[in-house]
Amino acid sequence: MPFRGKTPFTKKLPLPMRVAPPERRPVLVAAVTFAVVLMAALAAWRWVGEQSLRAANSRFDQNTVHITAALQREFTTGESLLRGARGLLSVAPAPDADAWRRYVAQLDLDETSSVVRALGYADVDAAGIARLTGGTGNVAGPAAAPQPIVPVTQMAPVTIDAMPAGYDLASAPASRTALLHAIDTGASALDADAAPFGDTDSNPHPRLYLYFPVYSDAGLPSTSQARRAGIKRLLVAALDTSRVFDNALARQRRIDLQVFSGTPATLLYSSAAADDDLAETTPVIRRSDTLRVGGVPITLSYTTSSRYLRAEDEFAETTVLIAGVAAACLFSAMAFLITHERGGGSAAASEARSRSSVNEARMMGIIRSSMEAIITVDERQNIVIFNPMAEEVFGCSAMEAIGASLSRFIPERFRAGHERHVEQFGVTGVSDRQMGRQRVLFGLRSNGEEFPIEASISQIRDGDGKLYTVMLRDITERVKAENAQRQSREELRELSANLQKVREEEKTRIARELHDDLGQQLTALKMDISSVEQALETTAEPRLLQQLRGMRRLIDATVASVRRIAADLRPVMLDDLGLVPAIEWLANDFTNRYGIDVERRIEVGDTSFTPTGATTLFRIVQEALTNVARHAEATLVTLTVRVEGGVCVLQIADNGHGANRSPTSGEKSFGLLGIRERAHMLGGTVEIHTSNDKGFALTVTFPILAVQQQEMQT
């Protein structure tokens, strides 16, 4: 295509230099643009992949920590069950087979998903322990103890894979070591090498057993020799290996776990699937952890496929790659078009002039077919364009509207303001009326009906004057929907506030009944037992007196549990002593439970809080401290309550790892949502300041009139 006129490049290029033909130049520019943008897209795709792998490793570490904690809780629950059964076996004589089965049936091991599958005991005495050790204090071999030493007396429920009655617990070296460990320490001992019983195909995992000693005296003897001399029975708990580990892995299906014990390591459990192809083609992430159960270290080996762990991030990587390729194609096309248009600039200008009339006709066609109402006025506010949608919106034909003043379609109370706005816009060219970004305006239909509209305005110069074009939209239905949504939101907030109030009242009632009714009954029962103990002190057997003392200690522990539960539901001091003592108690209890120091800065002066305000502030502090214990991994919490300048400010800040405030997939912080709702009920605001590894600070500000007790006027 020949150039029209002279170009800047004609006289500057020497003859020997080869220049790409004009018809090939747009192709070269487009190719270079495509290559550059594609390289940038590939770099972004690689960076996103590295970030997703780092995030996957972090999620894997967090999930394995949760699994280890869940396993620790499962084993702790099993040990608690043994401690509860020790009180029954401390009484002489021991329960018979029927009584033992009834006791175990009451525990309802299957329904409670307990890690204990079967529970039994074995009678043992000091002479048997002497035969077991050969009198040397060390475990003797089988030849030193040919007859049964610690035979199982009772086992319930009777299953094919549990120890049968009569089985000698000291028949294997590992079992004898576990028995002596339990007797000498007075604590539970784990036997991970017990011989299998019954059909191993139905339960392929090795059986684990916990042993727990029961001594003649109610207390724990002070030395190992005294414990061996005072041993009376041994509790035996058969643990369900599959239930222990499958329950912990129930929510982490993508993580495989192998459990080892002893030296050399013995495989106790494995959830890994035999998928050789996957192992060869997919990188594997590994992590190990250790549990100590019954004095025995158990090694937990976690593995997972990085492909499975990054499955939720693959969409982002694919999106980045596809978007990069699309951007490369788009920019290369734009470069081609721009280069092509510059090459034929004069021809395009000539063609544009020849087609101006066609474009004008197209513009009018677009105006007539637009779904927005379009009105154009001159500098005197007289209408010159009134499209069909404007006819439909205002209920007036274009024939009637053209030539009339625009004020005809503006309510009278807004006409003066509209004229000032148009005058200012004509001078500055700046308008705050943009579609979807300004307050709702109002129009006037031909029948006198007002209705809400959104409008945007623009101006062009036409000869010696200006034309103003207004594009507007009838938003009557949207305003109705927003009003309905706003009313629904307020009703939901009122419902939430009422539910919170009912919940607090119910907690208060239950706490009062636990503290007053049940606590008094337990105290009366303790006094009755003390009276019986005093009456039988000179006539009863020592064993009976020991049992009465044990019952009295159990009642003391029960009273303490009742008080703790009642305090968790609703601290009595919140109603009796007020907010500040209740917060002090809550901070001390938090430190005792989790070992996290709480620095208190309470400066409320003589402010008296309303019951509702005190409850709201206390619950916010309680929820914030709970979040710190669960997620922050902090060592110090700073609790600030101050009243100043007509507001009450509550702040809880920790030195933990902080958090990213951007929402993560699949997670919802209901604790923070509850805090926001409680603050909103009293007109308060919530601010969060946090970043990774820089702590987390929650600040709630209330108007003082919303939480302060007003003095009664006399």
Band (666; pLDDT cuts 50, 70, 90): very low
Q: How far apart are CA 612 and CA 663, in angstroms?
A: 31
* Single-letter amino acid, residue 704: I
CB 265 within 8 A of CB 298: no
- pLDDT mean across residues, the chain: 77
% of the chain exceeding 90 in pLDDT: 5
Distances (CA, A) of 269 to 119, 256, 290, 578: 21, 10, 14, 53
> What average pLDDT does this structure show over 95-109?
84
CATH of domain 575-707: 3.30.565.10
Band (14; pLDDT cuts 50, 70, 90): very low
SS3 of the chain: helix, strand, coil, percent, to 5 = 50, 20, 30
pLDDT score of 16 = 42
Q: pLDDT digits over 517-536, tens only?
A: 777 788 888 888 888 878 88
Q: Reply yes or no on whether the pLDDT at 197 is more than 60.
A: yes
- 363-465, what's its fold? Beta-Lactamase (3.30.450)
CB 133 within 8 A of CB 180: yes
Q: Reply yes or no on whether the pLDDT at 143 is more than 50.
A: no
CB 185 within 8 A of CB 154: no
pLDDT score of 649 = 93
Q: How far apart are CA 255 and CA 260, in angstroms?
A: 17
> What average pLDDT does this structure show over 392-407?
87
Q: How far apart are CA 703 and CA 684, in angstroms?
A: 7
pTM score over 0.85: no
Q: Reply yes or no on whether the pLDDT at 689 is more than 80.
A: yes
Domains of the chain, residue spans: 92-235, 363-465, 482-569, 575-707
